[in-house]
Structure 1
Amino acid sequence: MDLRERLADETKVAMRARDAERLSTLRLMAAAIKDREIAHRGEAGVDSALTDADLSALLAKMIKQRQESARAYEEGGRLELAAKEQAEVALIQEFLPRQLDPAEVDAAIEAAIAATGATGLRDMGAAMNELRARHAGQMDFGKAGAALKARLMQQGAG
């Protein structure tokens, strides 16, 4: 079952259960996906559809936005709003692939370096593209990029 079908099914379940908070977040997700599809149509032509990797990237972006909002609410003493944002994060994460643990991220970085033949920082872009292609939605690419850079700097120096 693809992501759109799963989202539609979960929305129906939430409606039947009269779970207003869950339904609200599911509808936000559906609206964001619809907006992205409309924008994509304008960019790439009528026939090109979004892939699950594109949708995973969109959901990961939504999670990052909510985490930043929760942090801002906590700093401002608005704990009830921070809790709502964290609940939305948890729900959105249900639709993403399983996140890789740190050891798996390290192994993925090594595999990307091997696949691209990266030997130094100048090859970082190719290695990051390889990581994104193979592990979309499965890791924080900000952290993975920093780890990749450190590994390539170590490799280039050694």
Structure 2
Amino acid sequence: MSVMERLDQDLKQAMKDKATVKLSVIRMVKAAIKNEEITKGSQLSEDDVLTILGRELKQRRDSLHEFEKAGREDLAGKTREEMEILTSYLPAQLSEDEIRQIVRETISQVGATTKKEMGKVMGAIIPKVKGKADGTLVQKIVSEELPS
């Protein structure tokens, strides 16, 4: 079952269950997907949908950080719940060790020797971990693995 089919199915179920937060998140995601389809002028691929889900999750993560910093636990709790819902549609996330292994393999494939070549390494890694790892974590690991 594709992500879009799951979203449609879960939308109907959330309406029946009167799960307001889940309903709100799914509608927001579907609207973002529809906007992207309109912009692109065609149907989105599964990868494109996962990219949108990742973007939505990143926005929530950033908001959560700001809410916690401001001491707004009420908003932070709602954001955590939204993040949980979004995460359920994304593929299983890679562990830090798995990411580190992919980074090492990619560095040797690309032949990077210094941090100046970080862009080249990131360009090769991102397609491999798209939707399965947080870009910030990948960037941190690449930075650690490349010699100065």
TM over 0.5: yes
Structure 1 residue 123, shift from structure 2 partner:
3.2
SS at match of 1:153: coil
Gaps of 5+ in 2: none
SS at match of 2:132: coil
1:143 corresponds to which residue? 137
Matches within 5 A, 1:7-156: 7-41=7-41, 46=42, 49-153=43-147
**Cα separation, 1, equivalents of 2:68 and 2:11:** 29
Gaps of 5+ in 1: none
Structure 1 residue 122, shift from structure 2 partner:
4.0
SS at match of 2:146: helix
TM-score after normalising by structure 1: 0.83
Residue identity matched to 1:56:
L
**Cα gap change, 1:51/1:131 in structure 2, threshold over 3 Å: closer, same or farther?**
farther
Report how many aligned residue pairs link the two structures. Answer: 148
**Cα separation, 2, equivalents of 1:90 and 1:120:** 37
SS at match of 1:118: coil
SS at match of 2:63: helix
1:40-75 Cα shifts (integer Å, max 9, x gaps): 22xxxx5xx433222222212211211222222223
TM-score after normalising by structure 2: 0.89
Structure 1 residue 153, shift from structure 2 partner:
1.9
**Cα separation, 2, equivalents of 1:139 and 1:40:** 25
Give the aligned CA root-mean-square deviation in angstroms: 1.7
Residue identity matched to 1:38:
I
**Cα separation, 2, equivalents of 1:129 and 1:94:** 27
**Cα separation, 1, equivalents of 2:72 and 2:24:** 20
